[in-house]
Amino acid sequence: MPREFSATRDDVDAIAAWTVIRAARELARRLATELDPLDLTPVEFGVLVQLAAADGLSQADLARAVGVRPQSMTPLVTGLGGRGLLDRGAERGRGRLSRIRLTPAGRELLGRAYPVVHASNRWFGDSPEGQRRTGHDAAALARRRRRPGRRPGTLNR
């Protein structure tokens, strides 16, 4: 007969991946609150800032850069396009690769949102060096997640 499993709060908190997931969800909620006055979600901010960094991305490239499933990118791009924040180009259609670009209105909104999001660095302490290190560590972890050839559910080493 299998033994009944039990865990303490300390046992749960000792699972690094689960703790990071919980922290990411809390940070997303906090960032959503900060962006709400601009009528922007954290993921929409991610789309705009990724396009500012590399204008002309395909929808698939943008999904990878933002960290969402490709299927989720279609309604995001449609919604942001409908608000006049980005342009999918004239080459749209099934099987055609469309390059997505920020519009002037998208750049203007991003110009107001970026300082709000950048100010969230203070959530990680007062030291600019510590904030930079935290940001670089998080970015490195995100890049590892996107490494080609990785099987879902495995870690890259």
pLDDT digits (tens, 9 = 90+) for 54-92: 989 999 999 999 999 999 999 999 999 999 999 987 655
Dihedral of alpha carbons 137, 140, 146, 149, sign: negative
Residue 46, pLDDT > 90, answer yes
Mean pLDDT of 108-122: 95
86 DSSP β-pair partners: 102
- Three-state DSSP at 11 gives helix
Residue 152: the pLDDT is 47
Instruction: Please state, in angstroms and rounded to a whole number, the distance separating the CA atoms of residues 46 and 7.
Output: 36
Radius of gyration from C-alpha coordinates of the chain? 19
Q: Dihedral of CA 64/66/73/29: which sign?
A: positive
Backbone CA torsion sign across 74, 80, 82, 87:
negative
Segments in 54-123 forming alpha helices (H)? 59-66, 70-82, 104-118
- Least confident among 49-58, 67-76, 136-145: 136-145
Lowest mean pLDDT among 39-48, 101-110, 119-128, 139-148: 139-148
Beta bridge partners of 84: none
Strand, helix or coil at 57?
strand
Which pLDDT band holds residue 142 (cuts at 50, 70, 90)?
low
* CA nearest to 120, candidates 26, 3, 5: 26
Would you place residue 151 in the very low, low, confident or very high pLDDT band (cuts 50, 70, 90)? very low
